[in-house]
Structure 1
């Protein structure tokens, strides 16, 4: 039992109505659209509670419909109820835990209690009642208040603040909810009103049950949706719609007070003068020997049965699907009742879809193909993303769970492959190879351009173990290459092709072809025009591979000619170039031999000159004779080398004439 603290009376609010939730739309964007509707009396307010985390979205998206009234304001309590309610009061929320602590927090306030007036100095709980100490005009007075006796504050403003604080304190006990009050005015009679807002909500989660057919037939697809009521209000017979789309959605902190940071400008004062006090002279410190380096501390070393025929599936109550560009909404056929915080799994679809069991190869390196089904969406609307539990058809797999599959969004009339297991009874093995085939030749001055057809091939060996069916293979794209096999589909998966398996082992081959070019220069352009080269001005042996007819280009062109088809464009021209280079090679070898002979003759001439200088008398005359002979031999060798070099240059010019 407690003594009573009397506070100033609060004005009674206008009549309030809590409009019930009539419809909810859950989006796969993590949002819900809530509509509340009902009849509102004139000048009544709309009051309802919403989760604290939904207030920002409510303030952002609230939409009011009223045929007669006018919106005056939407009001909410402070985000931090307790902090704001007790701001400026002489007590804190903890002070209201007991009557004595509440009275002690009000020490110094003028009060009336027990027929006496004075300032409250102290309070204490006793077995007999609440003992108060008042400071009156006659001094301290002790009062013992029993149950039902009142303490009245003289400060009516403070009493009003305390009343509001008490109200806020009661509201703060549900700190995760906030009361929203909407004031409408101007209506002279009751009328229907509604409000709509969008707020964050758990994703509604579609899931699928897929009953497979035998071969090419219709599969049965059942759709369910897991929904959760986290709106803070019970749903009693609401109209529930589930939307799948891709809207843009943003969040903004509209309910949180935002303080704009400002730069702080310091108060300027005179600069402080720092003075080091004079402590007088001291002796110079003695010199110390350098200390030996201390050793570093050591680091510790951290050391798969056939089953009986399954009964038919129960039919589901289908939702009404309403498709629009970019979205589809499933509206449940009947009203939904779901208490706040509850979860429900609701049926939304029960439809037959054309389907075919297939094998699917996504990875050429896999040893077994995927067991899959190819579905066609004939529902007339988009099937949203979801997880599908796949069950077997009648026959060897009646009602057996075969696996789970991911179903990505499927547009109307679009096909999807859904893989749910790997078929270990089918064996795969893949190999890849590449070839290159010249198919045309273009001649330019000093250059032969070869047109190439490059072929890449994938071979896939398959042993279906006696099973028959359709195999789908996904192959990666080759940029710039043309597939030489039929492509049934293209997408993020690359190129898709298919083949029929008859139960026997087989090998499938898939090839791509691209065109490329190879250029073979007849000489190194860095040497300049071969017709202007002088053999005496170059190191012939060092520059041999850079010369027309030298090793390299001839052998490359001979190899290309050997692989070039007889009917290839430009083949005759290439044959002529090769023949000319062969002749140039022969003449170049002859020129090299002549140049080597000239080098030998020049060396003999140098020795003969040296002998003349070293001898005298009759020996000197003999040396002069031999010098003349060596000089004639060097001259003849030089002339022969010039002739051989010029013959090679004429052959080169003939080759160049063939190339334009």
Structure 2
């Protein structure tokens, strides 16, 4: 057996209270926000302090939230060891935690200290394990002395203050072996008699997890809902007959580093010294440096199915429901955005254990339905619609669903997610897919003109686009309610019955009677299309001269030209008889048709003028080429060609002006 080494030290003055008591845990509140509120309470003697242990990771929250109740005393403060026990305990000492590995290592770390051993006083020079004991070397006034210390002999430090610090460091070293928890002391003063005191604090904890058992009727009726809570004790203290509350809410919760020492970094101001004189040696001349390399451009950066259930099946279902064991109901207390379930019986749970505790047993109105969330799915979901007829919110959780009647009695049907269900509201819970019911969907769309607005030179066609989703459903003889959720379409108005709106989009409900049917969901979206009567780039057509434009080439850009009239005729054919603006469009189309006729006439006249101009040109050339009698004949033909060209030009002017009057009529009709 290893020999013991005693480091005797002077005892420091006692500053702690004469006694300390650990108050038991009385109540625990678990939140689904990952928080725990712990209440400790008990009878405390006069001048006694409160002590308890808490996980080190909870100390920040404890320092933030601790609340004390003491009718007779005054709070003096709370104390606990430093966050880094070893570092703080050994700060300034000549030894380190590793030196406590052996007694010889401790003494070697204390070399140079004045000690007394076996009646000899001197400075500690060395220590080592030897045969028969521990050999210690001391430097005395007379020289070096070797001592062999045996079992029970002491080495006593002359410096009592250092001895006390080393003893405290040894205590801290022992405490650091369980560094995941801290011993906390609350000091109170001024109480003359024993009294009931308590305190609470809030810390992070595993959130409690509700799990549900849901027993469904075959069709409409009442469902049995039982709530169970999975709770874990990670508080560092046993719960013995505590009052347990389970809170569902959404509080704001933060963490702050109150326990860890925080040092603020300060700028360092250098010491001012005399400026040093430096000289760069002359190394002679050098060639001029080459020009810099040209920089390259940077590279670019990189319904549950409902069949008619026989009476005996319903009876069987009722019997199964009656066989489900009842659970004690918790007391529910609701406030704004928060509900707390307090279990009726005290709970005992040792630290580190997990329990599953019932807290609710209720019957809720229920309806079995089919539910379609995905229009591309082959079959709908089996689901149930529940209404919360209670007085408190049912928190989020996962429900194991069982059947109550017929072949389903007692059978597991699937799992369903329950989202927070306030009083009076409904939720649909899907738990399986009904492969006996088949679905098929198709989408289509069409657009038609719906209204007309006339502006100067422009016909504005208001369009109505219809988008349709057709859902074919074959229930194969089953009857029941089908709920279909469809996504919203921005800018489109639904033209089908919408039972509800929510995060799910638009909800439609239909009743199936056992035969195949097709449900149609239509949206209407308004649009507009502008049809200009001419190209504005040519200017005002009433002021346009035919001699200034190539009418042959630019006729599509002119009022009445090819394209616009055909487009507006197509719009008019598709426009409903009672559509707003139809009469005006009919007048515009008629006016454009007249403009088309006159434009064609003007174009013909312009072509004739062009032909006459060509003849006139040739006649001029003939006059220049001929002499004598031929020249006189050429002059006569030139005169005739000139008269013909003048008449053709006048006819073109008249035809163009007639077309422009028709255009003016079109402009008058379009305002």
Bin for the TM-score computed over the shorter chain: over 0.9
In the other structure, the counterpart of 1:39 is: 43
Q: Distance in 1 between matches of 2:249 and 2:372?
A: 31
Q: Distance in 1 between matches of 2:185 and 2:617?
A: 119
1:216-257: per-residue Cα shift (whole Å, max 9, x none)?
Answer: 011111111111111111111111111110100111111111
In the other structure, the counterpart of 2:230 is: 226
The answer (yes or no) to whether the contact 1:476–1:493 under 8 Å persists in 2 is: yes
Q: 1:30 aligns with which of 28, 34, 47?
A: 34
1:583-635: per-residue Cα shift (whole Å, max 9, x none)?
Answer: 11111111111112212222232233233334444443333333223222221
1:461-500: per-residue Cα shift (whole Å, max 9, x none)?
Answer: 1111111110000112223333222211100111101001
In the other structure, the counterpart of 1:509 is: 520
Q: 2:185 aligns with which of 178, 181, 187?
A: 181
TM alignment of 1:148-547, pairs within 5 A: 148-267=152-271, 270-271=275-276, 273=278, 275-276=280-281, 312-547=323-558
Q: 1:467 and 1:641, CA in 2 relative to 1: closer, same or farther beyond 3 A?
A: same
1:548-590: per-residue Cα shift (whole Å, max 9, x none)?
Answer: 1112221122112212233333333322221111111111111
Q: 1:267 deviation in Å?
A: 4.2
The answer (yes or no) to whether the contact 2:244–2:343 under 8 Å persists in 1 is: yes
The answer (yes or no) to whether the contact 1:8–1:163 under 8 Å persists in 2 is: no
Q: Single out whichever of 81-90 and 548-557 deviates more from structure 2.
A: 548-557
The answer (yes or no) to whether the contact 1:3–1:130 under 8 Å persists in 2 is: no
Q: Distance in 1 between matches of 2:78 and 2:596?
A: 99
Q: TM-score, normalised by structure 2?
A: 0.91
Aligned-CA RMSD value? 2.2
In the other structure, the counterpart of 1:292 is: none
In the other structure, the counterpart of 2:74 is: 70
Q: Distance in 2 between matches of 1:59 and 1:530?
A: 86
Q: Aligned to 1:567, what secondary structure does the other structure show?
A: coil
Q: 1:542 and 1:186, CA in 2 relative to 1: closer, same or farther beyond 3 A?
A: farther
In the other structure, the counterpart of 1:83 is: 87
Q: 1:159 deviation in Å?
A: 0.8
Q: 2:124 aligns with which of 120, 127, 136?
A: 120
Q: Distance in 2 between matches of 1:613 and 1:313?
A: 123
Q: Aligned to 2:631, what secondary structure does the other structure show?
A: helix
The answer (yes or no) to whether the contact 2:605–2:651 under 8 Å persists in 1 is: yes
Q: Aligned to 1:496, what secondary structure does the other structure show?
A: strand
Q: 1:581 aligns with which of 576, 579, 592?
A: 592
Q: 1:636 aligns with which of 633, 644, 647?
A: 647
Q: Distance in 1 between matches of 2:281 and 2:645?
A: 99
Q: 1:593 aligns with which of 558, 583, 604?
A: 604
In the other structure, the counterpart of 1:132 is: 136
Q: 1:510 deviation in Å?
A: 1.6
Q: Distance in 1 between matches of 2:482 and 2:113?
A: 90
In the other structure, the counterpart of 2:292 is: none
TM alignment of 1:541-560, pairs within 5 A: 541-560=552-571
Q: 1:652 deviation in Å?
A: 1.6
In the other structure, the counterpart of 1:297 is: none
Name segments (4+ residues, structure 1) moved above 6 Å: 307-310
Q: Distance in 2 between matches of 1:533 and 1:352?
A: 85
The answer (yes or no) to whether the contact 2:7–2:163 under 8 Å persists in 1 is: no
1:280-322: per-residue Cα shift (whole Å, max 9, x none)?
Answer: 999x9xxxxxxxxxxxxxxxxxxxxxx9989521111222111
Q: Distance in 1 between matches of 2:177 and 2:10?
A: 23
Q: 1:456 deviation in Å?
A: 2.0
Q: 1:534 deviation in Å?
A: 0.7
Q: Distance in 1 between matches of 2:606 and 2:250?
A: 83
Q: Distance in 2 between matches of 1:92 and 1:244?
A: 49
Q: TM-score, normalised by structure 1?
A: 0.93
Q: Distance in 1 between matches of 2:163 and 2:626?
A: 142
Q: Aligned to 2:155, what secondary structure does the other structure show?
A: strand
In the other structure, the counterpart of 1:111 is: 115
Q: 1:348 deviation in Å?
A: 1.1
Q: Which runs of 5+ in 1 are unaligned?
A: 285-306
Q: Distance in 2 between matches of 1:357 and 1:624?
A: 106
Q: Distance in 2 between matches of 1:602 and 1:621?
A: 21
Q: Single out whichever of 261-270 and 127-136 deviates more from structure 2.
A: 261-270
Q: 1:522 deviation in Å?
A: 2.1
Q: 1:276 and 1:392, CA in 2 relative to 1: closer, same or farther beyond 3 A?
A: farther
In the other structure, the counterpart of 2:62 is: 58
Q: Distance in 2 between matches of 1:154 and 1:555?
A: 117
Q: Distance in 2 between matches of 1:2 and 1:240?
A: 49
TM alignment of 1:87-102, pairs within 5 A: 87-102=91-106
Q: 1:641 and 1:234, CA in 2 relative to 1: closer, same or farther beyond 3 A?
A: same
Q: 1:274 deviation in Å?
A: 5.7
